[in-house]
């Protein structure tokens, strides 16, 4: 069982695009209330599968090959906060949009924290292997239509209710699929950074001299 743990408020504020606004008590209170709500509604679930490399069906484009260079195994992973969060966001958007945007940002923080917990879990499980960062369909030239392959491979629709639509958007929306390489030797330092991001031209964070994630 993986839980997101206490949610990072500063991260949520960054997702809201409000990083430069000075924090005040009212906003702190709103974040705290919304955190409680997100944590009570979220039902985090994850699946993973360790595959031996090379694995043809996961390869497409150059970026994934570079990412997994030198790795002997790859871990396919998916996680979701469940449909309850999506329903909550629908309800709150009708009732109070100001609260809904905060809940939405905190839910994004929560799924990212679930992923980080998984990274730790993986490190504990394979103490002798080095781990690359998580790489997802849609990063760089890695095609987003691999979402479907990931989910099928993990039997995610049946086991944790995680699906995609025809445009390969994950449903429930607060969900992640990713692949992590495992290597016996330390992989070359490659930050998950803006260089490999498709949004580098348009990113609001970059325009502000910021970046997403942490």
Nearest CA to 176 out of 130, 205, 135 is that of: 135
CA distance 50 to 19: 38
Nearer to another protein, 134 or 139 (CB): 139
Nearer to another protein, 89 or 114 (CB): 89
Please provide the distance, in angstroms rounded to a whole number, between the alpha carbons at the two ends of the chain.
24
Nearer to another protein, 70 or 84 (CB): 84
Minimum distance, C-beta of residue 191 to another protein, in the bound complex (Å): 21
DSSP 113: H
Does residue 204 belong to the site contacting another protein (CB under 8 A)? yes
Q: Which of 3, 5, 10, 29 binds another protein (CB under 8 A)?
A: 29
Segment near another protein (CB under 8 A); pick from 9-17, 64-72, 126-134, 187-195:
9-17
DSSP 135: B
Nearest CA to 72 out of 179, 183, 178, 180 is that of: 183
Tokens for 57?
């069906």
Site for another protein in 139-178 (CB under 8 A): 144, 157-158, 160-161, 163-169, 171-173
Does residue 27 belong to the site contacting another protein (CB under 8 A)? yes
Contact residues for 208 (Cβ-Cβ < 8 A; gap 6+): 19, 20
Does residue 195 belong to the site contacting another protein (CB under 8 A)? no
Q: Which of 3, 120, 185, 198 binds another protein (CB under 8 A)?
A: 198
Segment near another protein (CB under 8 A); pick from 1-9, 69-77, 186-194, 195-203:
195-203
Sign of the Cα pseudo-torsion (13, 18, 22, 26, in order): negative
CA angle 5, 10, 13 (to 5 degrees): 115
Residue numbers at the binding site for another protein (CB under 8 A):
13, 16-18, 20-21, 24, 26-27, 29-30, 33, 82-84, 86-87, 89-91, 93-102, 104, 138, 144, 157-158, 160-161, 163-169, 171-173, 198-199, 201-202, 204
């Amino acid at each position: 069982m993986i839980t997101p743990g206490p949610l990072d408020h500063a991260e949520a504020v960054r997702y809201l695009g409000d990083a430069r606004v000075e924090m005040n008590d009212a906003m702190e209170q709103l974040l705290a209330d919304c955190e409680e709500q997100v944590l009570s509604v979220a039902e985090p679930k994850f699946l993973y599968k360790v595959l031996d490399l090379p694995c043809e069906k996961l390869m497409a484009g150059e970026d994934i090959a570079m990412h997994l260079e030198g790795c002997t195994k790859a871990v396919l992973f998916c996680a979701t906060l469940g449909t309850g969060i999506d329903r909550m966001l629908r309800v709150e958007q009708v009732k109070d949009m100001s609260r809904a945007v905060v809940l939405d940002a905190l839910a994004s923080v929560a799924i990212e924290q679930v992923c980080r917990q998984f990274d730790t879990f993986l490190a504990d499980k394979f103490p002798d292997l080095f781990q690359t960062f998580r790489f997802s369909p849609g990063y760089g030239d890695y095609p987003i239509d691999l979402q479907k392959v990931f989910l099928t491979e993990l039997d995610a629709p049946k086991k944790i209710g995680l699906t995609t639509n025809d445009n390969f958007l994950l449903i429930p929306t607060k969900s992640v699929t990713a692949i992590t390489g495992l290597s016996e030797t330390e992989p070359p330092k490659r930050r998950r950074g803006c260089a490999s991001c498709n949004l580098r031209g348009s990113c609001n964070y970059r325009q502000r001299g910021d970046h997403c994630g942490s």
